[in-house]
Chain A
Amino acid sequence: MSSTEQGTSSAAPAEPTTAPESAAAPEVPESFYYVHGKDKVVHKVSAGALQHSALIHGMISNLGYTEEQAKANPFPFENIDGDILQMVVDWCNQHKGKPTPPEDTNLPKQKEKLFDLVLAVNYLEIKELLTYCCKQVAMMVKGKSPEEIREIWMIPTDAEDEAAEKEAKKRAGKEAAGETAAAAGDAK
């Protein structure tokens, strides 16, 4: 298992030259958590960055992990590819503690990965990033002809949908028949 430390440098607050007010309210040291995707590569992410994800935020809010405990128990997201998780972590770090702009220029640019990214972002419940991704999905078909839209968004024709539905029914029927035969065999 390898490990990368994401966002730690950007997470570190700038050293104040004079800090009369900070003396009154001592800064709470930032806590970090660890996540990994399908590739088992562990990413160290600050709690501030992870606040973007409603799912992770809900998971960590009541844990009260120490640094060691957090490191020993990375959150596993086996359903998310490593490179996709990396994109999400990068985005969360870039937007940590900042109001999200109306147009986000920090969106991942690889459109080939957009589908997996949308699924991951939806799973992790990162609302702002999902909004941006959905806009980007819509932009894919801007000014395109119907056939181009069909091709880009891989929309089957009615005939293809019907054929797929028939096929699925047929398969389900066969599976059901197989289960019945197996149950009858067991009974004997």
Chain B
Amino acid sequence: MPRKRFPRPKQLTNRNKLKKKSKVRFPILKLPRVVLLECIENLDVLEIILFSLLSKRAKSMAKLIHWNLLDITFGHDDEDPYILLTLSSNPGHTWVIRYKDFYEEEEEEESPEYSYFKSYLTGPQAKHYLFLKNDGNAIEGMKKMVELICEVFRFSICGIYIVEESQIDWIVKFQPEVRHVYIKNNVVTSVETLDHVFKNIKVTEHFVLGSIGTEKETKSKESIPYRSVSIWSSSWVTLPTVLNGNNSIIRLIDSKLTPKDINTILKEWQMGTKLQNLEYLEIEIFTTQDLESLSNEAVKDLNLTESDGNDGRPRTV
């Protein structure tokens, strides 16, 4: 469906107009506290964030309000970090904070000189953007912004996309328990760093790890302490890593496990002596071996049941 842009609010048509001074003044902080809170309760998520940035006093006021449940994701696309906010009470709207206005092709290379809003309608979803001035270090700026949002709204980060090692230390310190963690290729450069992640970040939902950026051949026998894991370049994952784990979902892409290893895993899973919580297993390997002999080796001596092609689900109502 083509993306449709909301008509721009008048004050955003020309950014220079933003500099025009408004004559109306309203000393909001002089209002009785109850009234002040009622006023700022009417603000949008992004407006609350801007309001909190204005001063410590403004932030302390915003913190007094009980906000609806907010999902905070510290993400990163190909180039830039962003913060994605969703409200459980308002599923048709998404709020995004980022530096670059990728919809404005003519402005693609530059960051805005000051913060401004834009909204876009994509199908039934409305996306509201706050584009920030980039003061140089985008990741550092976003970390501070995430800290502020968590403090004001009193919710924790739901997911984080880690693109540089400094974010690992930051999340360990700021919020060591996160629902979703995604670590980009080559951010982890050693087994030590990987151990540091496993020991210090508790991932409660899903953990995704890209390749480990090292020339050295890396192997690990330690289990991965997360319920659900997807490892994209999983050559470092050994048989003990899988067998000693307590995972429910395992996806190993580009694995170096052999058909014999896979057979061992399947046997242990079937016997129930290990992998007792395993619900889903996916192992992708690259091999020159022919598929039939590989399959035979992988399922050798296993008690197999014939698939009805429908995973046991009923075909009729």
- Is B35 positioned at the interface, with any CB of A under 8 Å from its CB? yes
Interface code B151-172, partner A: CB below 8 Å = 1, 0 otherwise? 0000000000000000000000
In the complex, per-residue mask of A131-150: 1 if CB is within 8 Å of any chain B CB, else 0: 10011011111111111111
Which B residues are CB-close (under 8 A) to A153?
Answer: 26-29
Of B36-44, B205-213, B266-274, B281-289, the one with at least 4 CB within 8 A of chain A: B36-44
- Chain A residues within 8 Å of B27, by CB: 115, 153-154
Q: What residues of chain A lie closer than 8 Å to B117, measured between beta carbons? A: 143
Q: Hey, which chain A residues are within 8 Å of B315, CB to CB?
A: none
Inter-subunit contact B55/A161 (CB<8 Å): yes
Within 8 A of A (CB), among B30-53: 30-32, 34-35, 38-43, 47, 50-51, 53
A166 to chain B, nearest CB (A): 15
Given contacts A146-B54, A155-B54, contact A138 B43 (CB under 8 A): yes
CA distance A156 to B35 in the complex (A): 19
- B26 x A154 contact (CB < 8 A): yes
Complex interface: chain A residues within 8 A of B30 (CB): 115
B42 touching A138, Cβ below 8 Å = yes
A56 in contact (CB, < 8 A):
no
Of A145, A148, A155, most buried by chain B (CB within 10 Å of CB) is A145
Stretch at the interface among B16-24, B254-262, B304-312: B16-24
Give, as a whole number of angstroms, the nearest-CB distance from B50 to chain A.
Answer: 5
CB-CB under 8 A for A131 and B38, given A141-B47, A146-B50, A158-B56: yes
Closest to A156 in B: B55
**Structural contact, A154 and B35, CB atoms closer than 8 A:** no
Residue B173 interfacial (CB < 8 Å) = no
Q: How far is the CB of B148 from chain A (nearest CB, A)?
A: 13
- B25 interface residue (CB < 8 Å to A): yes
B116 within 8 A of A: yes
Task: Give A143 to B13 CA distance when docked, in angstroms.
Answer: 11
Against B, the Cβ 8 Å flags (1 = close, 0 = not) of A94-131 are 00000000000000000110110011001000000011
Cβ-defined partner of B28 (8 Å) among A145, A148, A154: A154
List A contacts of B39 (CB < 8 A): 134, 137-138
The answer to whether A149 touches B50, judged by C-beta atoms less than 8 angstroms apart, is: yes
Write the nearest CB–CB distance from B47 to chain A, whole angstroms: 6
A152 within 8 A of B: yes
* Least distance between B205 CB and chain A CB atoms (Å): 34
Q: Do the beta carbons of B22 and A151 come within 8 Å of each other?
A: yes
B11 within 8 A of partner (CB): yes
Which residues of chain B are near A62, meaning CB under 8 Å? Answer: none
Binary contact track B107-139/A, C-beta < 8 Å → 1, others 0: 000000011110000000000000000000000
State A119–B30 Cα separation when bound (angstroms).
10
Task: Write out the residue numbers on chain B whose beta carbons fall within 8 Å of the beta carbon of A137.
Answer: 26, 28, 39, 42
Give bound CA distance, A135 to B42, whole Å.
Answer: 6
Residue in contact with B35 in the complex, picked from A130, A140, A142, A151, CB distance below 8 Å: A130
Closest Cβ–Cβ distance, residue B227 to chain A (whole Å): 41
Contacts of A155 in B (CB 8 A): 28-29, 54-55, 57-58
Bound complex: CA A152 to CA B23 (Å): 8
The answer to whether A149 touches B54 (Cβ under 8 A) is: yes
A/B interface sample: 19 pairs, CB < 8 A: A111-B24, A115-B30, A130-B35, A134-B41, A134-B42, A137-B42, A140-B24, A143-B12, A147-B114, A148-B18, A148-B22, A152-B22, A152-B24, A152-B25, A152-B26, A153-B27, A154-B27, A155-B58, A158-B56
> What residues of chain A have their CB less than 8 Å away from a CB belonging to chain B?
111-112, 114-115, 118-119, 122, 130-131, 134-135, 137-158, 161
Assuming A119-B35, A145-B115, what are 4 further A-B pairs, CB within 8 angstroms? A115-B27, A145-B50, A155-B28, A158-B57
